[in-house]
């Protein structure tokens, strides 16, 4: 094939200018696919960052049954978690802390007896992962008189489960999404190829190779892919700029959340490359299918 | 240049389009292919152009057996062949100059050379002032002149024309025929399919008549039989 990059670029640009509808549909489809992928990957990255951030603040509470020996429980907890800060919190202290936490609404506690809350032992264990914290909590259940152990884990465990499942599903879902997008864009480009069948026929009549005929179509697909994925990346960056401050204000753990945690540059680069690859694959499928169906040209 | 030996072409579901065609066209010849509609003229040209294979028999083009040419090599073969159609086959959304430039671009000529040659070619047929127009704005005669110029632009060794004057009035027909004869005078082998008897009578050139896919008569054989040089 005669390699004429400027000629091919000019032909591709001409085709996109003459067929804005096809360009818009192809670009839009790739935009949606890349945006959804980026959103998914960004959410996963953010969730993983939150899980990692939580590891700095592990705070376990062992609630004791009525009548349990608080000092014996503290000593047992200290043995189970050596080197950790372990405090015995009598019910009266817990009630006072609650009242302090309620501030002006503390009067709601008027009439509440000193035994309303259980005695507890608090263990501060910074730097643990969720799995390690869960294991420590299980051991702390062995503390004499322990009725329950809490480490504020309900939503974190849900998040952890979600992240684990999402990560597993991501590969399959995003693979299917990429394939579906390529086929969708390919069918759109097939319309463009079909609309230009006379041009292709005449080019072949004057001695053009399949490569010469196909190169502008490939560039067109590549351009649509890059355009769609660039738009998607820009919208993702805008979405991050809009959502991150609100998230930081709403969730203390998200204070350290940065762009590099949710949308790191390698991810953005991969999204751009994936969009370009989908466009290229789609246009290759479209032109190859057409040339295969018209072998006598 | 072109040699056919017992060539047979049949389309599935149809009768034979060509039957036992044996024919030779030498380098530099000007040959009319004639016969009524459906005689097989266009099929024969398509076979010579490598657009489809013969069902049986042998076709040699530039000394090569067409059946043995790889599909990927066909564009290379076609770069030695110009083709002119009755319906011009010009790209309506490209200018006259862009249409003429197409075969030169396909051959990888630099842009500067393409522009220079296109300008020269259009000037030679009096269409330089139409270079930036789009084909639909041209008359039928002008469009066919553009089509002929496009076919001749890369100086092909062989020019095939399928009813090139079928859509033209007598004056425009003469203009186009003069272009074909000019090309032949410069050494291009020309094969023109036509059912226009006035052309055959006006231009006393070798005429191969086809009827129902068979060669009914061949001017070369007749001339040879009559002892003509």
Of A130, A150, A170, which residue constitutes the final position of a domain? A150
The tally of domains found in chain A comes to 2
DSSP B91: -
Task: Determine the pLDDT at residue B99.
Answer: 93
Digit-coded pLDDT (tens) for A216-231: 889 999 999 999 999 9
Task: Determine the pLDDT at residue A262.
Answer: 81
- Which three-class secondary structure state does DSSP give residue B157? coil
For residue A130, being part of any structural domain is answered with yes
Determine, for residues A206 and B106 on separate chains, whether the beta-carbon distance falls below 8 Å. yes
For residue A239, being part of any structural domain is answered with yes
Res B22 pLDDT > 90? yes
Of the candidates B71, B72, B83, the beta carbon closest to that of A205 is on B83
Q: Cα(B103)–Cα(B106) distance, rounded to whole angstroms?
A: 5
How would you classify the pairing of strands B30-34 and B189-193? Answer: parallel
The torsion angles phi and psi of B94, rounded to 5 degrees, stand at: -120, 150
Determine, for residues A2 and B102 on separate chains, whether the beta-carbon distance falls below 8 Å. no
Q: Cα(A22)–Cα(A201) distance, rounded to whole angstroms?
A: 21
Residue B43 or A54, more confident: B43
Do A104 and A145 belong to one domain? yes
**The domain that contains B18 carries what CATH number?**
3.40.50.300
Q: What separation, in Å, do the N-terminal and C-terminal C-alpha atoms of chain A show?
A: 17
Do A194 and A146 belong to one domain? no
Alpha helices in chain B (DSSP H): 41-48, 74-78, 96-106, 111-124, 140-152, 170-185, 197-202, 219-225
Query: How close is the nearest chain A Cα to the Cα of B108, in Å?
Result: 6
Do A287 and A248 belong to one domain? yes
Query: How close is the nearest chain A Cα to the Cα of B190, in Å?
Result: 16
% chain B with pLDDT above 90? 48
Of the candidates B52, B78, B102, the beta carbon closest to that of A296 is on B52
pTM of the predicted model as reported, rounded to 2 decimal places: 0.69
- CB crowding A147-169: b at 16 or more within 10 Å, else e: eebebebeebeebbeebeeeeee
Interface of A with B (CB under 8 A): 2, 4, 6-7, 18, 198-199, 201-210, 212, 295-297
Task: Determine the pLDDT at residue A297.
Answer: 46
**The domain that contains A143 carries what CATH number?**
3.30.70.3040
Of A150, A171, A198, which residue constitutes the final position of a domain? A150
Do A44 and A171 belong to one domain? yes
What residue in A sits closest to B100 (Cα-Cα)?
A206
Query: How close is the nearest chain A Cα to the Cα of B201, in Å?
Result: 31
Residues facing B191 on adjacent strands = B31, B160
Task: Determine the pLDDT at residue A54.
Answer: 65
% chain A with pLDDT above 90? 17
Chain A residues in contact with B89 (beta carbon < 8 A): 198, 201-202, 205
Task: Determine the pLDDT at residue B228.
Answer: 52
Q: Taking a C-beta distance cutoff of 8 angstroms, is the pair B78, B50 a contact?
A: yes
- Between A and B, how many CB-CB pairs are < 8 A? 51
Q: Taking a C-beta distance cutoff of 8 angstroms, is the pair A58, A128 a contact?
A: yes
Q: Cα(B173)–Cα(B180) distance, rounded to whole angstroms?
A: 11
Note down the domain range covering A64. 59-150
Taking alpha carbons only, the member of A157, A117, A164, A118 closest to residue A137 is A157
Digit-coded pLDDT (tens) for B186-220: 999 999 999 888 888 888 889 999 999 999 988 76
Interface of B with A (CB under 8 A): 51-52, 71-72, 75-76, 78-79, 81, 83, 89-91, 93, 102-103, 105-108, 111, 150, 154
Determine, for residues B78 and A295 on separate chains, whether the beta-carbon distance falls below 8 Å. no
- Which three-class secondary structure state does DSSP give residue B221? helix
- What DSSP string describes B188-202? -EEEEE---HHHHHH
Residues 6 or more apart whose CB falls under 8 angstroms from that of B72 comprise: A209, A210
Of A118, A150, A182, which residue constitutes the final position of a domain? A150
What residue in B sits closest to A201 (Cα-Cα)?
B89
From A1-5, A224-228, B98-102, B215-219, the region with the lowest mean pLDDT: A1-5
Task: Determine the pLDDT at residue A153.
Answer: 62
Do A244 and A280 belong to one domain? yes
Digit-coded pLDDT (tens) for B129-160: 999 999 999 988 889 889 989 999 999 999 99
Task: Determine the pLDDT at residue A181.
Answer: 79
For residue A297, being part of any structural domain is answered with no
Q: Is the ipTM of this complex over 0.85?
A: no
Chain A residues in contact with B93 (beta carbon < 8 A): 18
Digit-coded pLDDT (tens) for A240-259: 888 888 877 777 666 767 77
Do A193 and A97 belong to one domain? no
Average pLDDT, chain B: 88
What residue in B sits closest to A7 (Cα-Cα)?
B105
Note down the domain range covering B68. 2-225
Query: How close is the nearest chain B Cα to the Cα of A249, in Å?
Result: 58
Tokens 């009630």 correspond to A95
The tally of domains found in chain B comes to 1
């Amino acid at each position: 094939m005669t390699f004429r990059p400027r000629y091919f670029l000019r032909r591709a640009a001409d085709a996109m200018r003459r067929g804005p509808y096809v360009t818009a549909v192809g670009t839009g489809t790739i935009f949606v696919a890349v945006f959804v992928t980026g959103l998914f990957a960004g959410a996963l990255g953010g969730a993983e960052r939150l899980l990692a951030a939580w590891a700095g603040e592990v705070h376990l509470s062992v609630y004791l049954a009525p009548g349990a020996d608080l000092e014996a429980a503290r000593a047992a907890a200290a043995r189970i978690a050596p080197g950790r800060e372990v405090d015995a919190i009598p019910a009266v202290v817990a009630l006072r802390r609650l009242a302090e936490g309620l501030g002006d609404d503390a009067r709601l506690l008027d009439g509440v007896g000193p035994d309303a809350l259980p005695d507890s032992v608090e263990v501060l264990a910074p730097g643990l992962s969720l799995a390690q914290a869960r294991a420590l909590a299980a051991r702390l259940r062995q503390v004499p008189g322990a009725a329950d152990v809490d480490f504020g884990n309900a939503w974190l465990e849900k998040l952890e489960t979600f992240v684990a499942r999402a990560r597993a599903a991501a590969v399959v879902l995003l693979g299917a999404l990429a394939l579906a997008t390529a086929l969708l864009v390919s069918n759109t480009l097939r319309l463009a190829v079909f609309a230009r069948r006379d041009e292709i026929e005449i080019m072949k009549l004057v001695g053009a190779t399949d490569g010469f005929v196909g190169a502008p179509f490939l560039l067109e697909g590549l351009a649509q892919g890059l355009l769609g994925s660039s738009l998607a990346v820009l919208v993702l960056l805008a979405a991050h700029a809009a959502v991150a401050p609100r998230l930081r204000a709403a969730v203390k753990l998200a204070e350290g959340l940065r762009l590099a945690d949710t949308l790191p540059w390698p991810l953005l680069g991969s999204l751009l490359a994936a969009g370009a690859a989908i466009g290229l694959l789609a246009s290759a499928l479209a032109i190859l299918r057409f040339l295969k169906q018209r072998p006598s040209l | 240049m072109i040699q056919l030996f017992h060539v047979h072409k049949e389309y599935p579901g149809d009768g034979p389009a060509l039957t036992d065609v044996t024919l030779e066209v030498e380098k530099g010849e000007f040959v009319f292919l004639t016969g009524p509609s459906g005689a097989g003229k266009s099929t024969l040209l398509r076979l010579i152009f490598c657009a489809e294979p013969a069902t049986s028999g042998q076709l040699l083009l530039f000394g090569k057996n067409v059946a043995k040419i790889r599909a990927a090599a066909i564009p290379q073969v076609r770069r030695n062949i110009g083709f002119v159609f009755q319906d011009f086959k010009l790209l309506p959304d490209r200018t006259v100059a862009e249409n003429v430039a197409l075969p030169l671009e396909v051959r990888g000529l630099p842009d500067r050379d393409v522009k220079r040659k296109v300008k020269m070619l259009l000037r030679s047929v009096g269409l330089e002032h139409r270079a930036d127009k789009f084909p639909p704005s041209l008359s039928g005669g002008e469009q066919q002149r553009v089509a002929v110029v496009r076919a001749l632009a890369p100086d092909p060794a062989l020019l095939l024309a399928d009813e090139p004057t079928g859509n033209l009035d007598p004056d425009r027909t003469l203009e186009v025929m003069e272009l074909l004869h000019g090309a032949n005078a410069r050494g291009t082998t020309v094969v023109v399919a036509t059912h226009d008897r006035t052309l055959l009578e006006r231009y006393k050139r070798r005429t191969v008549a086809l009827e129902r896919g068979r060669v009914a008569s061949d001017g070369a054989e007749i001339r040879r039989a009559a002892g003509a040089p």
